[in-house]
């Protein structure tokens, strides 16, 4: 859910697919094959230090915009194995651009962020600090580049695998989630927290920076602007709280962190990543890294359920993208760009 100028303010509950659905009843709605990129690992990626392998597949689907049929996909992704020449370090990232120059922003960040991580000699010793440095310096370089990022930018959800540890760095409202086997169930555990004004900590932070936080209905006078409570993102995602300057109707961002968005930066939007560290164990089956084109309607658990129900990750990615596409079309007669990476963890043991 991005800038008011690029993603509309629809009115619907955010998660509409129940966990009990049969996901094998055929692909709902045809994907636009000529606008879809599918990339899979040519071979298993070894993590020799802990004697297991990774296998990935990525699907990127351009959004359907009937009023802008030639609009380019503003999502981008990056997969880099053997980071810094280390066979035990691998990187996966999804970048969801927004605004007039969102595609340029996401591609710029996709290239520069991994370049900075690869060139940081402290990366494998202190990944958290390296992540912070890379995100902030990439943001500074985007500001000073030829790309106009005053009202454009990108989210970034990235996972760095180092041995048996995941380092998940997030800016914005794209998401990473991991599948955890518990008994006979496979449960979804979020590896990132969407950074939006729905979060009390993020709301208070941007307010202190001078942001007005209002939904579109409040801006239009349909709802009392003094009511500073919007429920939760799952039930009130249709008209979310957004960030505005004090005396203007811009920028209208529904996120509180991003890379770029220099205008929104003046009211608290920043590029400081939240980093989660997770040690893998044999109950961790796979993890998903995806743009909010997927999670706008599908809960984390639903995505994990769908991914678990297919033996072939390509079938899983296709089904998830198609279900997302169908729900977007049902509620808006358009779709967002959709990018999803599924990374399977194979052969990890406690030994």
Nearest C-alpha neighbor of 307 from the set 315, 297, 299: 315
**What residue ranges define each of the domains in the chain, with the CATH number in brackets?**
30-193+271-346 (3.60.40.10), 196-254 (no CATH)
**Mean of the per-residue pLDDT values of the chain:** 89
Residue 28 pLDDT > 80: no
CB distance 216 to 230 below 8 Å: no
Cα 80 from Cα 196, distance rounded (Å): 29
- pLDDT above 60 (res 8): no
Instruction: Assign 10 a pLDDT band (cuts: 50, 70, 90).
Output: very low
Above 50 in pLDDT, residue 17? Answer: no
How many other β-carbons are positioned within 10 Å of the β-carbon of residue 298?
22
Phi and psi torsions of 90, nearest 5°: -140, 145
User: Is the pLDDT at 281 greater than 90, yes or no?
Assistant: yes
Q: What is the mean pLDDT of residues 205-210?
A: 97
Average pLDDT, stretch 111-126?
Answer: 97
Give, in order, the Cα–Cα distances in Å from 163 to each of 43, 49, 83, 115, 122. 18, 6, 12, 20, 16
Decide if pLDDT at 51 tops 90.
yes
* Confidence band of 12 (pLDDT split at 50, 70, 90): very low
Average pLDDT, stretch 116-122?
98
Record the tokens describing residue 102, joined without a space: 């969102």
């Amino acid at each position: 859910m991005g800038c008011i100028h690029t993603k509309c303010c629809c009115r619907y509950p955010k998660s509409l697919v129940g966990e009990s659905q049969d996901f094998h009843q055929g692909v709902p709605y045809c994907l636009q094959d000529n606008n879809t990129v599918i990339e899979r690992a040519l071979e298993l990626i070894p993590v020799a230090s802990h004697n297991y392998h990774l296998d990935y597949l990525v699907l990127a689907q351009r959004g359907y915009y009937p009023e802008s049929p030639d609009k380019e996909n503003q999502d981008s992704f990056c997969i880099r194995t053997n980071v810094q020449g280390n066979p035990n370090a691998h990187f996966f990232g999804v970048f969801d651009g927004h605004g007039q120059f969102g595609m340029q922003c996401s591609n710029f960040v996709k290239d520069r962020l991994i370049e900075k991580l690869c060139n940081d000699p402290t990366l494998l010793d202190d990944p958290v600090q390296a992540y912070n440095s890379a995100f902030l310096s990439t943001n500074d370089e985007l500001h000073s580049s030829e790309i106009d990022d005053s009202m454009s930018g990108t989210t970034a959800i990235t996972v760095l695998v180092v041995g048996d540890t995941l380092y998940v760095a997030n800016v914005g409202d794209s998401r990473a989630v991991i599948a955890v086997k518990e008994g006979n169930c496979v449960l979804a555990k979020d590896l990132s927290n969407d950074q939006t004004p729905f979060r009390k900590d993020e709301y208070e932070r941007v307010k202190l920076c001078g942001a007005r936080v209002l939904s579109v209905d409040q801006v239009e006078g349909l709802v009392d602007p003094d009511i500073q409570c919007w429920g939760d993102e799952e039930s009130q995602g249709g008209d979310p709280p957004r960030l505005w300057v004090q005396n203007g109707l811009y920028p209208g961002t529904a996120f509180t962190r991003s890379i770029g968005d220099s205008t929104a930066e003046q009211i608290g939007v920043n590029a400081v990543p939240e980093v989660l560290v997770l040690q893998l164990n044999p109950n961790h089956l796979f993890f998903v890294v995806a743009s909010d084109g997927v999670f706008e309607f599908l809960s984390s658990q639903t995505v994990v359920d769908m991914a678990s129900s297919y033996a072939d990750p390509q079938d899983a990615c296709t089904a998830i993208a198609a279900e997302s596409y169908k729900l977007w079309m049902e509620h808006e007669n358009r779709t967002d760009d959709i990018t999803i990476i599924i990374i399977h963890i194979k052969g990890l043991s406690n030994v």
